[in-house]
């Protein structure tokens, strides 16, 4: 990880309220917190964010919670009560960004929807991430990333030919949506702070950001009337491109997306004469011989060990990479040299290795200062420092179950 000698934080002074739960919306606040924003995670007093109990746990501690809640302060507020709703409005008056993923009808009922807040909080960047986005018949339906992965077109094109649509084994739609929401937030802040504009609402859902990355399928259908089908690990627009098993039962991937790199494969597998054969050299004609080319490469790889394959392809400057499991990923020399993963001390787990901030900034790099904290760990501090509440007022809120 690149060290920051002057300790400058790019987003220092930016205040963010993370009043969301689970993955996509809270991830936005995580990314902002890595670069210095003061992020306050608002949770229900009883149980907190569902992410605390989601996924793999160790000693009752949710591992994803520890990572996604990194660098955040945590305070509680019962948004189902009028007092809790008012606390959020008061905090929003002191914040730059507020993040929700609650259904529109619920936010409207609570008086925390954008229309209810825009006049009293004209400076506020209001980020709302939902399953389907606002304005259509599905606006108020509940949903998770799995639905986005299906409705975006991703699952339809993923999987073995003739097999079922295949879902990813990780939160793909949530992750893509969160990245879109981060840059949207920075655009809105730029408009507000450098262009003299006011606050505004950002509407992001779990379908459209991933669908944007599947544009090839839409273009193909719109212009040619063809629905792209599942082809396993092959791709209809380039060959060779697949996963290949080595003699010693390791897996590698190869991509011939650039014509010059695709032609290097022939030399690497001992068939340099094919470079001068149009059927194998021309990018479009290669697609007509995809089965033959793929089988040729697979047979060559299958007859050699992983080390032999990697050495040969690397020497010939073929775009090749190993297929890693988690242990191999962490042990990779390149990732170790770059500090891709960082080990962070933690009072609950002792320490945990997590993905470091992405991307890398030379002058103001992100950092992981701490992992997710206990429920309500900063409640009194936040309500005192942000809102000026006295100890007796905080005690009354606690007694009433508001915090």
Residues with active-site annotation: 174
Instruction: Answer whether 85's CB lies under 8 Å from 59's CB.
Output: no
Rounded distance, CA 315 to CA 269, Å? Answer: 12
Cα three-residue angle 75-80-82, rounded to 5 degrees: 90
The count of other CB atoms within 10 Å of the CB of residue 93 is 14
- Is it true that the peptide bond before 240 is cis, omega within 30 degrees of 0? yes
The count of other CB atoms within 10 Å of the CB of residue 367 is 21
Longest dimension (CA), the chain: 85
DSSP string, 225-287: -------TT-BTTBSSEEEEE-TTS-EEEEE--SHHHHHHHHHHTT-GGGGG-HHHHSHHHHH
Residue 85, SS3 per DSSP? helix
């Amino acid at each position: 990880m690149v060290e920051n000698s002057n300790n400058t934080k790019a987003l220092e002074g930016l205040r963010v309220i993370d009043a969301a739960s689970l993955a996509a919306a809270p991830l936005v606040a995580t990314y902002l917190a890595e670069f210095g924003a003061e992020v306050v995670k608002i949770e229900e007093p009883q149980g907190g964010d569902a992410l605390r109990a989601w996924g793999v746990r160790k000693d009752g501690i949710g591992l994803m919670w520890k990572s996604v809640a990194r660098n955040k302060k945590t305070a509680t507020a019962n948004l189902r009560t009028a007092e809790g709703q008012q606390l959020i409005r008061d905090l929003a008056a002191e914040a730059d960004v507020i993040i929700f993923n609650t259904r529109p009808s619920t936010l409207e009922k609570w008086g925390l929807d954008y229309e209810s807040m825009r006049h009293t909080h004209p400076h506020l960047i209001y980020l709302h991430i939902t399953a389907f986005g606002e304005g259509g018949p599905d606006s108020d339906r509940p949903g998770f990333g799995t639905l986005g992965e299906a409705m975006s077109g991703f699952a339809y094109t993923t999987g073995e030919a003739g097999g079922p649509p295949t879902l990813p084994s990780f939160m793909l739609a949530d992750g893509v949506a969160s990245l879109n929401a981060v840059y949207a937030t920075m655009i809105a802040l730029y408009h507000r702070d450098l262009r003299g504009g006011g606050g505004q609402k950002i509407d992001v859902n779990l379908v459209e950001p991933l669908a944007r990355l599947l544009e090839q399928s839409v273009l193909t259908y719109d212009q040619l009337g063809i629905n792209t089908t599942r082809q396993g690990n092959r791709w209809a627009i380039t060959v060779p491109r697949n996963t290949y098993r080595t003699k010693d039962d390791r897996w590698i991937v190869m991509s011939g997306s650039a014509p010059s790199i695709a032609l290097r494969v022939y030399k690497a597998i001992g068939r340099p004469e094919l470079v001068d054969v149009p059927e194998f050299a021309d990018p479009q004609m290669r697609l007509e011989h995809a089965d033959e080319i793929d089988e040729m490469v697979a047979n060559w790889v299958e007859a050699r060990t992983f080390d032999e394959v990697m050495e040969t392809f690397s020497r010939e400057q073929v775009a090749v990479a190993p297929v890693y499991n988690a242990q191999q990923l962490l042990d990779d020399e390149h990732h170790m040299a770059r500090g891709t993963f960082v080990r962070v001390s933690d009072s609950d787990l002792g320490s945990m290795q997590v993905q470091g901030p992405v991307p890398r900034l030379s002058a103001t790099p992100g950092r992981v200062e701490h992992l997710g904290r206990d429920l309500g760990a900063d409640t009194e501090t936040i309500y005192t420092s942000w809102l000026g509440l006295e100890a007796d007022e905080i005690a009354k809120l606690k007694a009433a179950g508001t915090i």
